Amino acid sequence: MTFEPFRIYIIDKSEKWIFRRSSRPQALDPPEQKRKAALWFFFKYGGAHELHKGQHLLIDCRGVPRDLCLDDRRLMETLARAATRAGATVVSQIRYKFGDESPPGCTAVVMLDESHCSVHTYADEGLMAFDVFTCGNTDPHMLWSMVRNELQIIDVVVRDCPRFMVVTEAAS
Give the full edge-to-edge strand order of the sheet including 166-169. 43-45, 48-51, 166-169
Give catalytic residues, as residue numbers.
115, 120, 135
Closest CA to 98 of 80, 125, 133: 125
